[in-house]
C-alpha cells in the first residue's frame, strides 16, 4: 500500500505523539514505538506509556487498511531533516518506506496485535477556560514533585469548593494554589503534572480545554483539536494543603520582582557553597539578602521595600525562590511571614487568585 502526504503535516503529528512513548531504557520495547493505522481515508497515530494515551489523525485519500507499529522517534528525527514537500509512504508487512524523490528510508515494523487499546472514557465533560490555562496553570505546575517515590505529589489536584475551583501542587517543600470562581463542579481529581504540562504546550492560546473525567475508570480524557489525550488519574488522598497556608502574619513587605530576582541570583553565586541557603533580613530601611554566613563572608544584596510589621529574618533554599520568581510575571511581589520557622507566603500584587508557600530553612541567629 502506498500513499502520499505533506511532510510537515506528518512531522507535526509524529512530534506530538512521540512525547507519550516510553523511553528506550524501558522494559516494554513495544511501547517505545507508535501505532500507525490507515483506514476510512485517515492516517491515525497512537502512542502510549501506559499512563497516558495519545491519539491523532490526518486525512488521506486511500480506502485501504493497514496497522503497523514503528519506531516513531526515529521517523520523527528523519522527517525533521527532510525539506518541506510531499513524501510517499509505502507500507508492507515487514517495513514502512518513506521516500521523497530518490531519497528514501526503510523502517522495520512490528505487528500491531499486542499494542494497547485506548480505554473508553465516559463521564461528564468539563471546560477549563483558556484564561485559566494561559494565566494560571504555569504558576502551579512547577511546584509539583518530579520524584516518583511519592506519586501523589507528582500530580495537580483539582477541587471544587463553594463555587471556587482550587488547583494545587506541592512537592513537600513548596506549594502553589490557584483559586478561581467557576461554574463547573469538578470531582476531586489528581492529574499528572507532566501530562498537564505537555497538554498546555499543545493547546492554542485561544483554545479552551475540554476534559472528560471517569471516576469509575480512574481516567481523564482531554479533547484537543484533532488530538485526544487520555491519562490515568493518580489514586490516593492529596495532602491537606490548607494546613500549610499561613492565615496571619507579623511581617509583610512589597518588592519589585525583577530586582528581587536579580538579587537572589547574585546571592546564589555564594549560597551554592553554603547548602543553597539564603537569608532574608527584613528591616525598616530595606531588604538585605545574603548567603548563610561563613567566616569572613560579608556578601550582601540590598533593595528598598514597602515594609509593615516587625523586623525579622528568614532563610530559604534559593532555588525555590528563584524558580517562583522566574515563573511569575507580576511586577511586584508581596511577602508575608509569622516567624523564621513558619512557612513564608508569596503573593503577586494585583493577583488575588494565587499564592505560593515555601518552607523555610531552619537557622540559628549565630549562623546568619
With beta carbons less than 8 A apart as the criterion, state whether 84 and 31 touch: no
In this model, does residue 366 exceed pLDDT 50? no
Q: Which residues contact 311 (CB under 8 A, 6 or more apart)?
A: 251, 282, 283, 284
Euclidean distance between CA atoms 119 and 104, whole angstroms? 36
User: How much is the average pLDDT of 296-318?
Assistant: 92
Beta bridge mates, 161: 164
Query: HSE-up of 51 (CA within 13 Å, CB side)?
Result: 14
pLDDT in tens, 131-165: 888 889 999 999 999 998 899 999 999 999 888 99
> What confidence score (pLDDT) does residue 309 get?
97
Euclidean distance between CA atoms 17 and 36, whole angstroms? 11
Do 2-110 and 245-367 show the same overall fold?
Answer: yes
Q: Which three cell numbers stand for residue 304?
A: 528598598
| Domain boundary assignment for the chain | 2-110, 124-163+185-239, 245-367
In this model, does residue 364 exceed pLDDT 70? yes
> What confidence score (pLDDT) does residue 93 get?
86
Mean pLDDT lowest for which of 38-42, 175-179, 202-206, 346-350?
A: 202-206
Q: Could you tell me the pLDDT band of residue 367, with boundaries at 50, 70 and 90?
A: low
Q: Which three cell numbers stand for residue 165?
A: 475551583
Euclidean distance between CA atoms 154 and 149, whole angstroms? 9
With beta carbons less than 8 A apart as the criterion, state whether 236 and 151 touch: yes
For residue 77, give the 3-state DSSP assignment: helix
| Rg of the chain, C-alpha, whole Å | 25
Mean of the per-residue pLDDT values of the chain: 92
At residue 152's C-alpha, the angle toward residues 146 and 157, to 5°, is 100
Cα 266 to Cα 64, 83, 301, 334, distances in angstroms: 63, 45, 7, 20
In this model, does residue 25 exceed pLDDT 90? no
Q: Could you tell me the pLDDT band of residue 299, with boundaries at 50, 70 and 90?
A: confident
With beta carbons less than 8 A apart as the criterion, state whether 72 and 34 touch: yes
As to burial, measured by CB atoms within 10 angstroms (0-12 exposed, 13-18 middle, 19+ buried), residue 234 is buried
User: How much is the average pLDDT of 324-340?
Assistant: 97
Mean pLDDT lowest for which of 201-215, 231-245, 314-328, 339-353?
A: 201-215
Q: Could you tell me the pLDDT band of residue 183, with boundaries at 50, 70 and 90?
A: confident
Q: Which of 174, 127, 146 is nearest to 323 (CA)?
A: 174
- Annotation: CATH topology of 124-163+185-239: DNA Polymerase III; Chain A, domain 2 (3.10.150)
User: How much is the average pLDDT of 267-292?
Assistant: 92
Q: How many helices (H) and strands (E) does the chain have?
A: 7, 25
For the domain bounded by 2-110, which CATH number is listed? 3.10.150.10
- Annotation: CATH topology of 245-367: DNA Polymerase III; Chain A, domain 2 (3.10.150)
User: How much is the average pLDDT of 24-36?
Assistant: 84
Amino acid at each position: 500500500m502506498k500513499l502520499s502526504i505533506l511532510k510537515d503535516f506528518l512531522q507535526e503529528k509524529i512530534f506530538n505523539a512521540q512525547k507519550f512513548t516510553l523511553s528506550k531504557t524501558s522494559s516494554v520495547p513495544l511501547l517505545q514505538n507508535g501505532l500507525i493505522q490507515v483506514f476510512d481515508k485517515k492516517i491515525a497515530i497512537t502512542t502510549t506509556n501506559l499512563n497516558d494515551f495519545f491519539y491523532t489523525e490526518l486525512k488521506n485519500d486511500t480506502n485501504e487498511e493497514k496497522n503497523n507499529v514503528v519506531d516513531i522517534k526515529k521517523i520523527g528525527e528523519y522527517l525533521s531533516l527532510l525539506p518541506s514537500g510531499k513524501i510517499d509512504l509505502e507500507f508492507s508487512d515487514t517495513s514502512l518506506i518513506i521516500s521523497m524523490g530518490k531519497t528514501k528510508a526503510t523502517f522495520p515494523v512490528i505487528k500491531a496485535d499486542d499494542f494497547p487499546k485506548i480505554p473508553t472514557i465516559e463521564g461528564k465533560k468539563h471546560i477549563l477556560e483558556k484564561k485559566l490555562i494561559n494565566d494560571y496553570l504555569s504558576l502551579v505546575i512547577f511546584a509539583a514533585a518530579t520524584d516518583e517515590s511519592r506519586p501523589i505529589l507528582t500530580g495537580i489536584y483539582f477541587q471544587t469548593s463553594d463555587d471556587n475551583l482550587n488547583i494545587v501542587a506541592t512537592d513537600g517543600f513548596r506549594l502553589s494554589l490557584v483559586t478561581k470562581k467557576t461554574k463547573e463542579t469538578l470531582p476531586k481529581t489528581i492529574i499528572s503534572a507532566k501530562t498537564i504540562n505537555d497538554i498546555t504546550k499543545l493547546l492554542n492560546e485561544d483554545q479552551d480545554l475540554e476534559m472528560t473525567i471517569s471516576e469509575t475508570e480512574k481516567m481523564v480524557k482531554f479533547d484537543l483539536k484533532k488530538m485526544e489525550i487520555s491519562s490515568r488519574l493518580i489514586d490516593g488522598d492529596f495532602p491537606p494543603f490548607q494546613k500549610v497556608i499561613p492565615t496571619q502574619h507579623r511581617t509583610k513587605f512589597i518588592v519589585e520582582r525583577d530586582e528581587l530576582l536579580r538579587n537572589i541570583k547574585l546571592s546564589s553565586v555564594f549560597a551554592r557553597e553554603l547548602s543553597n541557603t539564603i537569608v532574608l533580613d527584613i528591616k525598616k530601611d530595606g531588604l538585605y539578602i545574603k548567603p548563610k554566613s561563613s567566616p569572613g563572608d560579608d556578601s550582601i544584596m540590598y533593595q528598598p521595600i514597602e515594609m509593615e510589621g516587625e523586623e525579622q529574618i528568614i532563610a530559604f533554599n534559593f532555588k525555590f525562590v528563584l524558580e517562583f520568581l522566574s515563573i511569575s510575571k507580576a511586577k511586584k511581589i508581596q511577602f508575608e511571614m509569622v516567624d523564621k520557622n513558619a512557612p513564608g507566603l508569596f503573593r503577586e500584587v494585583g493577583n488575588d487568585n494565587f499564592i505560593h508557600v515555601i518552607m523555610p530553612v531552619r537557622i540559628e541567629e549565630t549562623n546568619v
